[in-house]
Amino acid sequence: MDLPALNPFRLRRRPSLTSAVAGPFERMHEEIDRLFDEFLPEAATAKESELRQGLFASVDVGETDDSVEVNADLPGIDQKDISVTLRNGNLMIRGERRHESEEKKKNYYRAERSYGAFSRSIPLPCEVDQDKIDARFQNGVLTVRLPKSTAARESERKIEIKTA
């Protein structure tokens, strides 16, 4: 569940208003914020944590006359840990980030491990030729080029605008 989508004004925290100064809508907004905090604290915390740790793949989608191109920033992820699939007009990008570091010094030993999985579903704006899809991974950027199907390219038609 995407909490910012449910309560987008939450991102702009305002100082609490006293009931003498606040109008009925401001008081109602504060009460709704309090209810979200009370009933869904772990969901908000999990989403903020996921964004802080970078487990949310940043994606750019572009369209030309011939194809749709998707670029996903996946720094620190190995190619073997990425999966790209196409199903029902949606491009699915899944991956897992694994990070381990170890440091041994004279007086101490430190080992850190962090793991996290992510998944993005990108709805495609048109039908694509599944046999000609090309995916490349270089320098932490996944580029998927999806050529439009012949039917999708031919279905576009310019419409003449007449004066009234």
* pLDDT higher than 60, residue 1: no
- Cβ neighbors of 114 (< 8 A, separation 6 or more) are 53, 97, 98, 99
> 132, 144 in Cβ contact below 8 A?
no
Domain ranges of the chain: 3-52, 58-93+119-154
Residue closest to 146 by CA, chosen among 131, 159, 161, 160:
131
pLDDT digits (tens, 9 = 90+) for 67-95: 999 999 888 788 998 999 999 889 999 98
- pLDDT, residue 20, reads 53
pLDDT digits (tens, 9 = 90+) for 7-66: 444 444 455 445 455 678 788 888 887 777 777 665 555 545 444 444 567 889 998 888
CATH of 58-93+119-154 among 3.90.550.10, 3.90.700.10, 2.60.40.790, 2.30.30.140: 2.60.40.790
Q: Higher pLDDT residue, 156 or 109?
A: 109
pLDDT digits (tens, 9 = 90+) for 129-155: 899 999 999 998 999 999 998 887 777
* pLDDT higher than 60, residue 6: no
- pLDDT, residue 143, reads 95
> 69, 62 in Cβ contact below 8 A?
yes
> 86, 133 in Cβ contact below 8 A?
yes
> 117, 83 in Cβ contact below 8 A?
no
